Amino acid sequence: QGHLPQESWFALGRLLTTAGGEPVLVSWSGSMFEYLMPLLVMPTYGNSLLDQTCRAAVERQIEYGRQRGVPWGISESGYNSIDARLNYQYRAFGVPGLGLKRGLAEDLVIAPYASALALMVSPREACANLQRLAADGIASRYGFYEAIDYTPARLPRRQESAVVRSFMAHHAGMSLLSLARHVLDRPMQQRFESDPLFRATTLLLQERIPKATAFHPHTGEFSEMRSASEEEALPLRVFANPDSVAPEVQLLSNGRYHVMVTHAGGGYSRWKDLAVTRWREDSTCDNWGSFCYVRDVASGEVWSTTHQPTLTPADKYEAIFSEARAEFRRTDFDLDTHTEIAVSPEDDVEMRRVTITNRSRTARTIEVTSYAEIVLAPPAADALHPAFSNLFVQTEIIRHRQAIVCTRRPRSEHEPAPWMMHLMSVHGAKVLDISYETDRMRFIGRGNTVADPHAMSDLGALSGTDGSVLDPIVAIRYRITLEAEQSATVNIASGIGETRAMALSLVEKYQDWRLADRVFELAWTHCQAILQQINATEAEAQLYGSLAGKIIFANSALRADPSILLQNLRGQSGLWGYSISGDLPIVLLQIGDPANIDLVRQLVRAHAYWRLKGLAADLVIWNEDHTGYRQQLNDQIMGLIAAGVEAHVIDRPGGIFVRSAEHISNEDRILLQTVPRAILSDDRGTFVEQIGRSAPPQTPTPRLQPTRRHDAEAPVIPASVRSDLIFFNGLGGFTPDAREYVITTAPGHVTPAPWVNVLANPHFGTVVSESGRAYTWGENAHEFRLTPWHDDPVSDASGEAFYLRDEESGHYWSPMPLPSRGATPYVTRH
């Protein structure tokens, strides 16, 4: 503008550093964009400071890539982090030593357009680097992707890099200008030089390289890439013992489709408010969920890819919970299985990928069988009467697509009827046979359980039954052959579509084996977006998942002291005055010191995490500040809630309830400490310390020490058949006086359905089946059950049992056919 003479321009101070022993101008972030972008339109002059800076910057970038063992080219770009709308984030990255910005060594993001810019300085090296990037899979039909992120903190476990699959117009434009400089003889530079105003200032571009000056020190050296020891420090939960006191859980969700998996392999699948698969809260057995059986055809050995449902002890077992996935590794009979579970953010589909490796020296023929009980109804309705609920489910086998689809017949024209799909595909092994089953009675077998189903002892194929079965399941079996040291991948996809056409489209889509990789990649990315949304780290998410296990399964670790529980005289209706329904699990936080407000922050984040993962729970915050600043603490609590994503769920079911202790009566205080599944208090330590607290130790029952060896079971004695029974059907018949029905059963010789007897008076009663399974009630058989009724005609499960044990040998059995059948026949008289 003519305010300063040109000779003064060269007196302006600028920081210099060194790269490869040569002086280089220091930029803010050390990015390729900052150094080379001006060359897209302006000329460069040899032996000038700017020319030397550009060449030294490119050389330093090349050297830094060599040091880190990756392609070179760092600049501002998108990276492997997304917002709530799944948009990649963008910021400047650079090389340590070239930029003033601190923390440059903490990130490692390579942008192909940075190499395209370097064509103007080092064309041979830039071409070679672009070829290397293309070979690494970062090129697509539309050109190079935006970047490849090597930063360990932004990568899933065991993954070394992530491609940022986006395209930015201005980066593509700069790449084209750089190419045009070579192939079109500098058109933009010639246009710039033709402007008289520019020609008047070209002297600025010809500044000489200083012979001596003070150099700015490098801001820091690069950090080493993640080592194996660092990988172990990633936020993971690893369990080697599946028989722990209480189940640990992992929550997987895309916001609509929710999966809960325990470290033993149990769990549920839910879609919106519907149960997809059957599940009951049972911390002892934990044998509900979706399972995968494996059978060695030659030996007949049967096990499962997780501890449940067969309970077969593995040679080696490990359950790993990391953000966005659950993994199970086990070794059985020289066969390794690695199971990975994730939920797709794109579709309402869960993917279970099982990798099976034959570690023996011979070829093995094995069968892989999936299994899940289908509900497609609200969980409460299914728990109320599962046998009635089953009557409305229809199944259909799609053999040419190796899939099964199911739906529930609507009971009214306005009731939605979603369709469930279940698909299994095998890759990398020879497939010998495929069979299907949707009838639970045929698969499990009368009197059996998921631990030892009839289908896994029967050498034949599954029956292929479908349609209006009485007890619907989905089961697909592949018989495959694995050579020595060969691996095969089994993809099991289950999902929901609102219509039959949508379910079939999911079946078609997930025929592609590459979709499994995409599901696991997108699931991790989606979880990163959720953590950013609630402002939580992966380590904190693992804590929230650990606490979720104590909410889903009743656990004494964080419950009130038994002395408090014994004092309670009130029921669920006592909660209604505080706007709490009591229908959902409750977590209680007692806080009285404003200095511990971080405990509130953590639980509010945990509640948001659970809600986004499909776990509904009421968080009750009990403000028991006894100072004169109670309102100040209340304002702090409400401010924390309002500032996050939980502001809209205050005082709503499944939300947050803030209550002052001075407004709670003594009786209600006992009630509010009795009903929560987890109680945290600011006088019991930090959030981490309280979550890690285990249940009070229990005195173990001494194990019986047998004094003699139990003799092998005698051969099964054939059941004697009475010749005087009326209407005898091979199992039973009426006595001649018609006052009794006599049934004779033996192993493998059971009734096709339960034969029950009702024993009751007007106030008390029980139902007993021919196998001895029963339940008891008082006053009302539905509302006041003393023992549980499972309504399961297949397994005939029961909450009542009798056992007999030989105290010398330790051998035990039951006097009724179930639950522990003896070797001899049983005679039941009703």
| pLDDT value of position 312 | 95
The predicted model gives 573-592 an average pLDDT of 94
* DSSP string for 318-385: EEEEETTEEEEEEEETTEEEEEEEEE-SSSSEEEEEEEEEE-SSS-EEEEEEEEEEEEEE-HHHHHH-
* Residue keyed to tokens 């006052």: 739
* Residue keyed to tokens 């045009």: 180
Q: Specify whether the CB–CB gap between 617 and 607 falls below 8 A.
A: yes
CA 396 from chain centre, in angstroms, equals 28
The predicted model gives 655-672 an average pLDDT of 92
Q: Specify whether the CB–CB gap between 234 and 240 falls below 8 A.
A: no
The pLDDT-based confidence of 229 (bands split at 50, 70, 90) is very low
The pLDDT-based confidence of 2 (bands split at 50, 70, 90) is low
Q: Specify whether the CB–CB gap between 334 and 359 falls below 8 A.
A: yes
* Residue keyed to tokens 């020296």: 361
The predicted model gives 755-772 an average pLDDT of 93
Q: Specify whether the CB–CB gap between 207 and 48 falls below 8 A.
A: yes
Give, as one character, the DSSP assignment of residue 11.
T
Q: Shortest CA distance to 144 belongs to which of 57, 78, 215?
A: 78
| pLDDT value of position 6 | 66
- Taking 90 as the threshold, does the pLDDT of residue 102 lie above it? no
Burial 42-63 (b: 16+ CB within 10 A, else e): bbbeeebbbbbbbbbbbbbbbe
Two tokens, residue 551: 């909410």
Give, as one character, the DSSP assignment of residue 653.
T
The predicted model gives 361-383 an average pLDDT of 95
Report for 468-477, 621-630, 730-739: range of highest mean pLDDT = 468-477
Question: Using CA atoms, how far apart are residues 274 and 276, in angstroms rounded to an integer?
Answer: 6
- Phi first, then psi, for residue 331 (nearest 5°) are -125, 125
Q: Specify whether the CB–CB gap between 260 and 250 falls below 8 A.
A: yes
84: amino acid identity, one letter: A
Question: Using CA atoms, how far apart are residues 741 and 301, in angstroms rounded to an integer?
Answer: 39
Two tokens, residue 282: 């049972």
**pLDDT one-digit tens code per residue, 256-280:** 999 999 999 999 999 999 999 999 9
For residue 771, the SS3 value is coil
Q: Which of 48-62, 164-178, 300-314, 493-507 has the lowest mean pLDDT?
A: 48-62
Write out the H or E segment, with its range, that includes residue 473.
Answer: strand 472-482
Q: Specify whether the CB–CB gap between 276 and 375 falls below 8 A.
A: yes
Residue 31 CA: distances (Å) to CA of 362, 469, 819: 56, 65, 71
Comparing 439 with 18, which gets the higher pLDDT? 439
Question: Using CA atoms, how far apart are residues 497 and 699, in angstroms rounded to an integer?
Answer: 50
Residues in the chain: 830
| pLDDT value of position 48 | 84
| pLDDT value of position 199 | 78
The predicted model gives 76-92 an average pLDDT of 87
Q: What is the 3-state secondary structure (H, E, C) of 79-137?
A: EEEECCCCCEEEECCCCCCCECCCCHHHCCEECHHHHHHHCCCCHHHHHHHHHHHHHCC
| pLDDT value of position 223 | 42
Q: Shortest CA distance to 243 belongs to which of 325, 306, 333?
A: 306
Mean pLDDT, all residues of the chain: 89
| pLDDT value of position 227 | 39
Q: Specify whether the CB–CB gap between 684 and 592 falls below 8 A.
A: no
Q: Which of 287-291, 385-389, 412-416, 596-600 has the lowest mean pLDDT?
A: 412-416
Q: What is the 3-state secondary structure (H, E, C) of 727-753?
A: CCCCCEEECCCCCCEEEEEECCECCCC
Write out the H or E segment, with its range, that includes residue 395.
Answer: strand 393-398
| pLDDT value of position 216 | 58
The predicted model gives 68-77 an average pLDDT of 94
Q: Shortest CA distance to 768 belongs to which of 741, 749, 806, 747?
A: 741
Question: Using CA atoms, how far apart are residues 103 and 153, in angstroms rounded to an integer?
Answer: 14
Give, as one character, the DSSP assignment of residue 69.
T
Domains and CATH numbers, the chain: 6-206 (1.50.10.140), 238-398+416-512 (2.70.98.40), 538-691 (3.40.50), 707-830 (2.70.98.40)
Residue 573 region by backbone torsions, left for phi larger than 0, else alpha for psi between -120 and 50, else beta:
alpha
Q: Using a cut of 0.85, tell me whether the model's pTM lies above it.
A: no
| pLDDT value of position 23 | 78
The pLDDT-based confidence of 693 (bands split at 50, 70, 90) is confident
HSE (CB half, 13 Å, CA atoms) of 198? 11
Alpha-helix runs per DSSP H in 184-328: 187-193, 196-199, 228-232
Comparing 50 with 360, which gets the higher pLDDT? 360
Strands (E), 527-677: 586-591, 618-623, 656-660
Residue 374 region by backbone torsions, left for phi larger than 0, else alpha for psi between -120 and 50, else beta:
beta
| pLDDT value of position 198 | 80
* Max CA separation in the chain (angstroms): 128
Name the packing angle between helices 597-612 and 514-534 (round to 10°).
Answer: 150
Q: Are strands 274-277 and 267-271 parallel, antiparallel or unpaired?
A: antiparallel
The predicted model gives 713-725 an average pLDDT of 69
